[in-house]
Amino acid sequence: MAVTRKVIIIGSGPAGYTAAIYAARANLSPLMLTGVQKGGQLMLTTLVENYPGFVDGLMGPELMEIMRKQAERFGTEMVAEDATAVDFSRRPFVVRAGEDEWEGHTVVLATGASSKLLGLDAERTLMGRGVSTCATCDGFFFRDQNIMVVGGGDSAMEEALYLARLGRKVEVVHRRDRLRASKIMQERAFKHPKIEFVWNSAVEDIRDVAQGKVTTVLLKNLQTGEIAERPVDGLFIAIGHQPNTAIVRGQVDLLPNGYVKVAPGTTRTSVPGVFAAGDVQDHVYRQAVTAASTGCMAALEAERYLEATQPH
């Protein structure tokens, strides 16, 4: 095994990259497991208008590319692998990616969160064949076609607005009669001539698995129980996210909702020397800028932990 690293960062969203920038500038020579698909959720986003420092906004993937270059510039070593296991029961800690393994005196968990799904069999079967969780990735395939978006949050509005540029019409299906999205996003969606809302409704089933593509969606009105079948070519699921904690389950304390538990106002997990930053520990704010800020905190806390525990 190679030399024990001072800091190993798992994940490459705003939290991971910011932790890397701070750790690298503190001469901690961080190793980052970026994951096979680097960049986190912002790689699946369109225009980011609320990240400070960019007056006109910029595209999510562009923002992540800038952060990656900044982290690299200060000497972060990046490995394009997914961490598959960790061992926090021994010291130094061990992080594995398949056959490869690394030792670290500290670990920053920045594995983020992934899209939630409805849980229908047809949804799984037709994923990538008409069902999608990423408008910017797949919207192109549904030009001038019927598109449906499920959800009532900012993600759903963002997806609907993006897809309305491409599709014939976009129906937003929401399980309640009011949106959770921010007012500005709601207003934009309400104003858009191609976007329609279907309230108090849930996706009951998706057809047609036999044809291997989406043809119709069965919607259940949750107030009347009535089922309606609507012609749909592309179904976009935008109902929120769940934290990516599979590799740390049983090793650090999690909250009942599955997010990593950190000491209030810090990124300290239940294991001294292991820090958690970004969406993997934030079920409240979940913004790029808050992820970046906790990434900064994690690096500073790791630095202090190393100073206190590792003789120079």
- Active-site positions? 134, 137-138
β-strand pairing of 85-87 with 93-97 = antiparallel
Query: Cα angle vertex 68, ends 280, 59, to 5°?
Result: 85
Please report how close the Cβ of residue 57 comes to ligand NAP at its closest, in angstroms: 10
CB 88 within 8 A of CB 104: no
| From 57, 61, 240, 258, residue interacting with ligand NAP (rule: CB under 6 A) | 240
Which residues neighbour 95 within 8 Å (Cβ) at sequence distance 6 or greater?
8, 10, 33, 83, 85, 86, 101, 102, 103, 104, 107
Part in contact with ligand NAP (CB under 6 A); list of ranges 26-34, 72-80, 127-135, 144-152 = 144-152
Task: Decide: is 118 part of the binding site for ligand NAP (CB under 6 A).
Answer: yes
Please report how close the Cβ of residue 187 comes to ligand NAP at its closest, in angstroms: 13
Task: Decide: is 57 part of the binding site for ligand NAP (CB under 6 A).
Answer: no
Q: 261 vs 109, 254, 265, 293, CA distance in Å?
A: 12, 5, 11, 17
In the bound state with ligand NAP, the residue whose beta carbon lies nearer, of 213 and 286, is 286
Task: Decide: is 153 part of the binding site for ligand NAP (CB under 6 A).
Answer: yes
Please report how close the Cβ of residue 48 comes to ligand NAP at its closest, in angstroms: 7
In the bound state with ligand NAP, the residue whose beta carbon lies nearer, of 46 and 76, is 46
Minimal CB distance residue for ligand NAP: 153
In the bound state with ligand NAP, the residue whose beta carbon lies nearer, of 102 and 236, is 236
Task: Decide: is 154 part of the binding site for ligand NAP (CB under 6 A).
Answer: yes
| From 54, 218, 286, 290, residue interacting with ligand NAP (rule: CB under 6 A) | 286
Task: Decide: is 289 part of the binding site for ligand NAP (CB under 6 A).
Answer: no
CB atoms within 10 A of CB 61: 16
- Rg, C-alpha atoms of the chain: 21
Strand residue runs (E) in 28-99: 31-33, 47-48, 58-59, 77-79, 85-87, 93-97
Task: Decide: is 159 part of the binding site for ligand NAP (CB under 6 A).
Answer: no
Q: Is 77 exposed, middle or buried (CB count within 10 Å of its CB: 0-12, 13-18, 19+)?
A: middle
Please report how close the Cβ of residue 192 comes to ligand NAP at its closest, in angstroms: 15
What whole-number distance in Å separates Cα of residue 126 and Cα of residue 55?
39
What whole-number distance in Å separates Cα of residue 243 and Cα of residue 158?
21
Question: Which residues in this chain contact ligand NAP in the complex, by CB under 6 A?
Answer: 50, 116, 118, 150-156, 158, 175-176, 180, 182, 202, 239-241, 286
